[in-house]
Amino acid sequence: MCSGRVDLEFVLRAFANGMDGVFIGGCRLNECNYITHGNYDALNMVLLCRKIMAHIGLNPERLSVEFMSSGDGIRFTEIIDDFSRKVKALGPLGKADEIDPDELKSKLEDVRKLVPYIKIAKREKLASRLANKEEYDGLFTSEEIDTLFSEAVSYHINPEKCQACMICYRRCPVDAIAGGKNLIHVIDQDQCIKCGTCFEVCPPRFGAVDKIPGRPVPPPIPEAERTIVR
Ligand code: SF4
Ligand code: SF4
């Protein structure tokens, strides 16, 4: 019902599934029927996603958002016709952007895994309601998106400090933590979506979860060495 419901993940998934272009239509800004003004959320998400697309080598013109009312039938038709023409002129996704299909697939997969992290890292800007177009043009910069990815935070459980209380194991939303009673817990970095929950819930007296920005995470300790002898 609301353009604000269109998540960054939905757009990236559409491109990962081979769509050449994505169009999002929302109600006119400042004319939301509710108090949520979700169309601003859609606009901010699109601006962020367009920068991310440029970062991975996709033409950001493949993603568009427009705002109109139910009385704008003719305008809607014109906008859709224009967008269709533009996407056709851009050519097939990846090929026309001169990215190898496997490389594009892998880049989109990497970004999709980071969506929860991106949404947390950019939550204030994603909730912006700015006054004019000029401010929106500069809401997200290319440099900031480069930094966002180069300094992406990883989480690591310090085997010296973990007390196997299992709190992080139970709270991880994607089952990315291997653990059990009297076992040092270990994060599967391929599964981890960098939500930060384990960092927040690990009791301060243990402080076993480290936040590691922009550097490789130490390798997991071998399974044979995970038992805690008390
Ligand atoms: S940051 Fe921690 S809780 Fe969040 S997905 Fe990764 S391992 Fe799980
Ligand atoms: S919450 Fe902390 S101490 Fe408890 S199992 Fe997880 S990392 Fe170990």
Q: Give 157-181 pLDDT, tens digit per residue.
A: 999 999 999 999 999 999 999 999 9
Average pLDDT rounded to a whole number, residues 197-218: 94
How many Å lie between the centroid of ligand 2 and the Cα of residue 168?
6
**DSSP state, residue 63:** E
Beta strand spans in 45-203 (E): 63-67, 153-157, 177-180, 183-187
What pLDDT, on a 0 to 100 scale, did the predictor assign at position 140?
95
Q: Is the pLDDT of residue 133 over 80?
A: no
Give the CA count within 13 Å in the CB-facing half-sphere of 162.
Answer: 30
Tell me the C-alpha distance between 141 and 98, whole Å. Answer: 23
What pLDDT, on a 0 to 100 scale, did the predictor assign at position 115?
93
Query: Shortest CA distance to 197 belongs to which of 153, 140, 161?
Result: 153
The one-letter code for the residue type at 91 is G
Position 229 confidence tier, pLDDT thresholds 50, 70, 90 = confident
Position 33 confidence tier, pLDDT thresholds 50, 70, 90 = confident
Tell me the C-alpha distance between 28 and 71, whole Å. Answer: 11
Tell me the C-alpha distance between 84 and 166, whole Å. Answer: 52
What pLDDT, on a 0 to 100 scale, did the predictor assign at position 136?
85
What pLDDT, on a 0 to 100 scale, did the predictor assign at position 111?
94
Contact 33/74 with Cβ under 8 angstroms?
Answer: no
Atom in ligand 1 nearest the alpha carbon of residue 168 = 3
Pocket test for ligand 1, best of 112, 114, 172 (most atoms within 8 A of CB): 172
Taking the mean position of all CA atoms in its chain, how far away is CA 124?
14
How many Å lie between the centroid of ligand 2 and the Cα of residue 227?
14
What pLDDT, on a 0 to 100 scale, did the predictor assign at position 132?
80
Find all residues with CB under 8 Å of 207, minimum gap 6, and list them: 161
Q: Please indicate whether residue 198, judged by its CB atom, sits closer than 6 Å to ligand 1.
A: yes
Q: Is the pLDDT of residue 216 over 90?
A: no
Structure tokens belonging to residue 64: 């568009």
CB atoms within 10 A of CB 158: 14
Q: Which residue's C-alpha comes closest to atom 8 of ligand 1?
A: 172
Rg, C-alpha atoms of the chain: 21
pLDDT per residue as tens digits for the range 49-98:
999 999 999 999 999 999 999 899 999 999 999 999 999 999 999 999 99
Q: Which helix (H) or strand (E) holds 85?
A: helix 73-90
Tell me the C-alpha distance between 94 and 58, whole Å. Answer: 7
Question: Do the bridges between strand 63-67 and strand 22-26 make them parallel or antiparallel, or are there none, so unpaired?
Answer: parallel
